[in-house]
Chain A
Amino acid sequence: MRFWLPLEDISDAIRGRVGGKAAAMATLARDDIRIPRTYCIPIEAYRAFTQQNSLAEKIHLELHRKDLADMRWEEMWDASHRIRGLFQKTRFPPDLANSLTEGIESAFGEEPVAVRSSGLGEDAARASFAGVHDSYLDIRGAESILMHVRLVWASLWSDAALLYRSELGLELHTGAMAVLVQEFIPGNVSGVVFSQNPMDPGSGVIEAVSGLNRGLVDGTEAPDRWFWDRSGGLPVPAHPPSTGRSLLTPSQLIAVKALAEQVEAIFGRPQDTEWTYRKRTLFTLQSRPITTLEQTPDRKDKAWQLSLRRSFENLEGLAARIEKEIIPKIILEAEVLHGQSLSGLADSELNREIRRRRSIHRKWKDVYWDVLIPFAHGVRLFGRMYNDVLHPEDPYEFVELLRPDSMESLKRNQLLHRMTELLPDRTMDSGKREPTNWEALSPEFLKLWEEYHRLYANLPGADDQDPDYRARLLDFLIRLKNSPQRRERRPGAGRRGGETRFLEAFPGSERKNARRLLDLARFSYRLRDDDNIYLGRIESELQRALSIAGRRLSKRWDGISLPLPIDDVLHALEDPGYRPRENRTRSAAKTQIRAKPRQIKGQPAGQGLSSGKARVIHNQQDLFAFRNSEVLVCDAIEPNMTFVVPLAAAIVERRGGMLIHGAIIAREYGIPCVTGIPDLLKLVKTGDPLTVDGYLGIVVFNRN
């Protein structure tokens, strides 16, 4: 049969149809290594499937939204997520489905199987693709096996696979994948064996975990490890066994080592071999050449990105730490800093205080990168699970379920709203300056003003002792008050129904875990915005010290523009004779563009279609100048900027992703959002009339 090959039919001549892993398994079987019963679904099946409904072209359209090299990891994840949704939705062509169903049923019936990838480049000397593509264990029945075959195919386009191929300079946009369907071996002890240690060519390594290999391959479970000397010697433990008892007996260790040597001899080069013991029988699950490229140092950044893929257990542990430890500590630290009076400090003391605050800020910023950013993966984990069980039409339907009852940026917007209600009606004409306006304000208003500055105002230059700043903020509040079409937050309608539908997709025994995942994802989603607001409070305390210093220094130097760069401030506080070089203000060095954009493609991140004039945000002044029904255009929206969103017609952002702050807040207010346009700030000027298509991720420059 063309689409279902028994291993005996696989020779080296058809390696290009079955992929490296299948070819290696066939070789092992010929050499009498014990392997599970294995069949291969060759790449013709992938091709037949992706030609159906033009899936291949849809994948191209998705990946050509922008140059992959310009994509952030998040955007790659989004593209992969949408492609995975396409695979889940696309039906099998009938002849392919019949042929595979027949093959599966006669080979396995209702027996459990493992469904594994067998990629075309997988055995290349440079690229082992270890752990890049998906495998699924313990799957039963033709229907479920076929669904998992699709998921293995889709993993050809996973973020990890795209990153891997782009790093190795392999072809990105074309590809096909073969799949192995294997008898599932419920092993008692499993692991991998490297016939040659990638870190030390003189030795070999055995790694083992209890039960199945899943955790070991994902890197989420720490294995027990043994080394042996390649020039002769028995495997010796690298450390005392984690369970207190060795997972492998001495004779099993010798058998695994012997297997590694035998497999290396068969292929003629060092191998990374996956094995499992079912009772006393040793099975080889797969084998691939060891490549050294995986260990080169320039993979460090990407390794960090891939480390964002955390397991559920790992994320749950993080959640507890974040909620009980990290957030309370940040808030406490911010409050202590807020309680300190700074105006009486001598210059040298102020210098020390700024340095201290900067290092506190840096400390929390590190925590933000190390803990809070990886925690956002909870949202993605949930999204994947949601789509696996419900196969929704829109791959981002799940986000609706995660929208929080409240979040800090929305509380802040409500606070600003309350402030506008306390503004006197007639006396406050927009554009008037202090002091007249200031004195007309009620004590209730001033209380909220203080609260706003304590909790939220962390934009550079947000110094409520500065009359210009105060006038700008007041101006903005008046505009907010007078805007008839000010947007309200979209109600979370239909959420409950969606929640029930999600939970009921799981059998009773698993529903509790589904609930836990949902709770985790909700916290992860809310925190994605909230953590910046909390961190912002620390930042704002640093700003407060800098503002005081700035005011002192501006008296010393005439005509200097505030805010000053922090290094200038520190320098000047130490050295009364220091004077910064002039023209420090950021010059808007815009390149001259002859070709004018008319329509640009980004990523859809919030549904809707609307038009308005662009307001390009470079600094705080631009934000306060925001007018009703303008389109918010900026490099990267931070939650401390989203107070203007109730006035905005749409949001457009250079940074890409479906789960970034701009997208989160746009969904709350039901306005279109497009993200991921690389040259956005060069292309758009304040005042340009734009149409933003949040359904398709397109920004149009209208004619005047």
Chain B
Amino acid sequence: MKPSPERLIRRLLQSQKLAVLGTHEKGLPYANLVAFVAAEDLEHILLATARYTRKYTNLKANPHVSLLIDNRENLDTDFHAGMAVTALGRAEELQGEERNRNLKIYQDHHPYLEEFVKSPSFSLFRVKVQTYYLVTEFQNVTSLKMGS
């Protein structure tokens, strides 16, 4: 039996460390690589950034984001075997207790970033995902609406 789209997405999100984050910059698109962690139930994605980055300014000005996560290896076979997920959602900067709790999760996934995320200059964001688009076998696209 083929795995469900939800399972495929979860597997992909758990296998990858980096996502491409799309933000708005005064109405124009802007993209970055970010280290992320996805929640088991796919409801949320965590990401961290220093407060003085362009993506931080963008996220504060307009919280609507897209994230692209894929498993490409830069080989010909990527075209049939590669998988990509686009997530659309809304980012929220976490504070206080909620920040500390999620920071622990984030840090456990990216232990080499410990020094960075612990630093007072770093901020943690949680993206509430509204929709996932899963692309498999080059042209098969499935959408997954998350509960609001």
Q: Which A residues are within 8 Å of any B CB, using their own CB? A: 53-54, 57-58, 61, 598-599, 609, 611, 691, 693, 695-696, 698, 700, 702
Contacts and interface: CB of A to CB of B under 8 A. Distances in A.
Contacts of B51: 609
A695 B114 contact: no
B119 A702 contact: no
B120 interface: yes
B140 interface: no
Interface in B89-146: 111-112, 114-116, 119-121
Nearest to A53: B111
Nearest to A690: B52
B68 interface: no
A57 B112 contact: yes
A696 B112 contact: no
B50 interface: yes
A54 B114 CA distance: 10
A698 B120 CA distance: 13
A54 B111 CA distance: 6
A436 B38 CA distance: 70
A691 B54 CA distance: 12
B112 A609 contact: no
Contact of A54 (B50, B112, B116, B121): B112
B52 A696 contact: no
B110 to A, nearest CB: 8
B103 to A, nearest CB: 15
B112 A698 contact: no
A64 to B, nearest CB: 12
Interface residues of B, number: 13
A691 B116 CA distance: 16
B114 A609 contact: no
Given A609-B51, A696-B50, 9 more contacts: A54-B111, A58-B115, A609-B120, A611-B52, A693-B50, A695-B120, A695-B121, A696-B119, A702-B52
Interface in B18-56: 50-54
A97 to B, nearest CB: 18
A53 B115 CA distance: 12
Nearest to A695: B119
* Residue of B51, B112, B116 with most chain A CB atoms under a 10 A cut-off: B112
A611 B119 CA distance: 17
A57 B116 CA distance: 13
Contacts of A698: 50, 52, 121
9 contacts: A53-B111, A61-B112, A609-B52, A611-B52, A693-B50, A695-B120, A696-B115, A698-B121, A702-B52
B123 to A, nearest CB: 12
A197 B12 CA distance: 63
Contact of A609 (B111, B116, B121): B121
Q: Which 9 A-B pairs have the closest CB atoms?
A: A57-B112, A54-B112, A695-B119, A54-B111, A691-B52, A700-B52, A693-B121, A609-B121, A53-B111
A100 B50 CA distance: 41
Contacts of B111: 53-54, 57-58
A702 B111 CA distance: 29
Given A693-B50, A693-B52, A58 B121 contact: no
Contacts of B112: 54, 57-58, 61
Contacts of B121: 609, 693, 695-696, 698
A691 B120 CA distance: 14
Contact of B116 (A53, A599, A696): A696
Nearest to A699: B52
Contacts of A54: 111-112
A698 B52 CA distance: 10
Nearest to A60: B112
B120 to A, nearest CB: 6
B133 to A, nearest CB: 31
B109 to A, nearest CB: 10
Contacts of B53: 599, 700
Nearest to A61: B112
A418 to B, nearest CB: 35
B23 to A, nearest CB: 15
A691 B115 CA distance: 19
Contacts of B52: 609, 611, 691, 693, 698, 700, 702
A235 to B, nearest CB: 54
Contacts of B120: 609, 695
Contacts of A691: 52
Nearest to A82: B115
Nearest to B110: A54
B144 to A, nearest CB: 31
A195 to B, nearest CB: 46
A58 B117 CA distance: 13
Contacts of A695: 119-121
A53 B113 CA distance: 10
Contacts of A696: 50, 115-116, 119, 121
A61 B50 CA distance: 17
Nearest to B111: A54
A533 to B, nearest CB: 33
A95 to B, nearest CB: 19
A362 to B, nearest CB: 43
Nearest to A700: B52
Interface string B49-87: 011111000000000000000000000000000000000
A57 B113 CA distance: 9
B105 to A, nearest CB: 16
A126 B36 CA distance: 45
Nearest to A692: B52
Contacts of A58: 111-112, 114-115
A125 B53 CA distance: 50
A53 to B, nearest CB: 5
A598 B57 CA distance: 14
Contacts of B115: 58, 61, 696
Contacts of A598: 54
A53 B109 CA distance: 10
A694 to B, nearest CB: 9
Nearest to B57: A703
A683 to B, nearest CB: 17
Nearest to B51: A609
Most buried by A among B50, B51, B116: B50
Contacts of A61: 112, 115
Nearest to A59: B112
Greatest chain A CB density within 10 A among B51, B54, B111 is at: B111
Contacts of A57: 111-112
Nearest to A52: B111
B126 to A, nearest CB: 22
A695 B120 CA distance: 8
B31 to A, nearest CB: 15
A698 B119 CA distance: 12
A695 B114 CA distance: 13
A58 B114 CA distance: 9
